[in-house]
Amino acid sequence: MKNPSIGVDLGGSHVTAAVVDESGTIVDRFEQDIVKHDFDDVVKIVAKVVEEAVGSVKGRVEVIGVGSPGGIDAATGVVHYSPNFSWYDVPLGARLSERLGRPVIVANDASCATLGEHTYGIGRGTRDFVLLTLGTGIGSGIVAGGELLLGHAGGAGELGHHQIRATDGFACTCGKIGCFEAQASGTGLIRHALTLAPSFPRSELVSGKPANLGSKSIGKAAQNGDAHALAAWTRYVTDLAIGITNLIGFVNPELIALGGGVAAGAGDFLISALVPRVDELTRMIPRGGTRIEAAALGNDAGAIGASIVARQGGLVVVKA
Ligand SMILES: [Zn+2]
């Protein structure tokens, strides 16, 4: 294999170190569950899977790219805040670099996933592109004019916490009310279903334990015509459309890709309901000018993007 690169996707409960070739294909992967969230324990586990990955390509890898959740200073590799791990200001890049004996570049996981989809996935060939990952929360990133948008302090593209229902929405994990993420993530879909439950006393959707209620099962029930699931789905699609319309107004992308559990589970059922709602809400910008499609790389987008970060020496290529 020519020029292998290693990208690490660090999640709250799992870490993957992927060996990625020059065409963006994962040729080998090393994984481990993360049980303890203590910083030293996580560093140890990440270093172990990276060492396995490096060993598999016989030391031809110089730089490691790591995608991690949270607010990250990509220049120093310091994780300022990570809700998944309850970390504040931990030197993840420096500590990993020390253990591994080679440079480690740490970047936000959603930025990595956006870079992955833009370079090798559904966004390939576009200059203005947005990735939204609809999972427990909403991960997002923006490519504008062909480059990942970082903003003044690296915080650009954090679309999940713009408020779309500031007075009547759900409480968000960030402390605000009615954030896009609170309303339109997979968790948001579950909350719409639970809110509507009293209106559907015979619904089988919440007849089991509420903990068993998942966004995929609600999407599936809606596709099967279940009245309760359809009512929740309609509210969900409306809220998703409001947020997407806002971001079309902010960045006028050519393509918005939807990833994460909700999009993967519902596919065309989601997109065919969403597109007319977005068109209806779009003002001042030509309707239908932005394509909305399913993301292509699934859960691999983050690791593939992190391998690009390693290959190009950072989230963006610095031009001389
Ligand atoms: Zn929020």
pLDDT tens, position by position, for the chain (320 residues)? 678 999 999 988 999 999 999 999 999 999 999 999 999 999 999 999 999 999 999 767 889 999 999 889 888 999 998 888 999 999 999 999 999 999 999 999 999 999 999 999 999 999 999 999 999 999 999 999 999 999 887 888 889 999 999 999 999 988 999 999 999 999 999 999 999 999 998 888 877 666 668 999 999 999 999 999 999 999 999 999 999 999 999 999 999 999 998 888 888 999 999 999 999 999 888 888 899 999 999 999 999 999 999 999 888 766 65
CA–centroid distance, residue 175 to ligand 1 (Å): 6
Residues 253-277 have pLDDT tens digits of 999 999 998 888 888 999 999 999 9
CA–centroid distance, residue 159 to ligand 1 (Å): 9
What's residue 210's pLDDT? 62
CA–centroid distance, residue 29 to ligand 1 (Å): 33
Contact 241, 274 (CB under 8 A): yes
Tell which phi-psi region holds residue 182, choosing left (phi > 0), alpha (psi between -120 and 50) or beta.
alpha
CA–centroid distance, residue 21 to ligand 1 (Å): 37
CA–centroid distance, residue 152 to ligand 1 (Å): 21
CA–centroid distance, residue 170 to ligand 1 (Å): 10
What's residue 255's pLDDT? 98
What is the 3 state secondary structure string of the chain? CCCCEEEEEECCCEEEEEEECCCCCEEEEEEEECCCCCHHHHHHHHHHHHHHHHHHCCCCCCCEEEEECCEEECCCCEEEEECCCCEEEECHHHHHHHHHCCCEEEEEHHHHHHHHHHHHCCCCCCCCEEEEEECCCEEEEEEECCEECCCCCCCCCCHHHCECCCCCCCECCCCCECEHHHHHCHHHHHHHHHHHHHHCCCCCCCCCCHHHCCHHHHHHHHHCCCHHHHHHHHHHHHHHHHHHHHHHHHHCCCEEEEEHHHHHHHCHHHHHHHHHHHHHHCCCCCCCCCEEEECCCHHHHHHHHHHHHHHHCCCCCCCC
CA–centroid distance, residue 113 to ligand 1 (Å): 20
What's residue 106's pLDDT? 95
CA–centroid distance, residue 73 to ligand 1 (Å): 20
Tokens standing for residue 79 = 């994780």
CA–centroid distance, residue 180 to ligand 1 (Å): 7
What's residue 143's pLDDT? 97
Q: Residue 171 and residue 215: Cα distance in Å, rounded?
A: 18
What's residue 202's pLDDT? 87
CA–centroid distance, residue 198 to ligand 1 (Å): 26
CA–centroid distance, residue 137 to ligand 1 (Å): 9
CA–centroid distance, residue 2 to ligand 1 (Å): 43
What's residue 91's pLDDT? 97
CA–centroid distance, residue 314 to ligand 1 (Å): 28
CA–centroid distance, residue 241 to ligand 1 (Å): 17
Contact 17, 50 (CB under 8 A): yes
For the chain, which domains are there?
5-114+300-312 (3.30.420.40), 124-296 (3.30.420.40)
What's residue 211's pLDDT? 60
Contact 20, 5 (CB under 8 A): yes
- Contacts for 166 with CB less than 8 Å, ≥ 6 apart: 176, 177, 178
Predicted TM-score (pTM) of this structure? 0.93
- Contacts for 169 with CB less than 8 Å, ≥ 6 apart: 163, 177, 178, 179, 182, 183
CA–centroid distance, residue 138 to ligand 1 (Å): 10
What's residue 320's pLDDT? 55
CA–centroid distance, residue 51 to ligand 1 (Å): 36
CA–centroid distance, residue 176 to ligand 1 (Å): 5
CA–centroid distance, residue 58 to ligand 1 (Å): 44
Q: Residue 233 and residue 230: Cα distance in Å, rounded?
A: 5
CA–centroid distance, residue 177 to ligand 1 (Å): 7
What's residue 153's pLDDT? 78
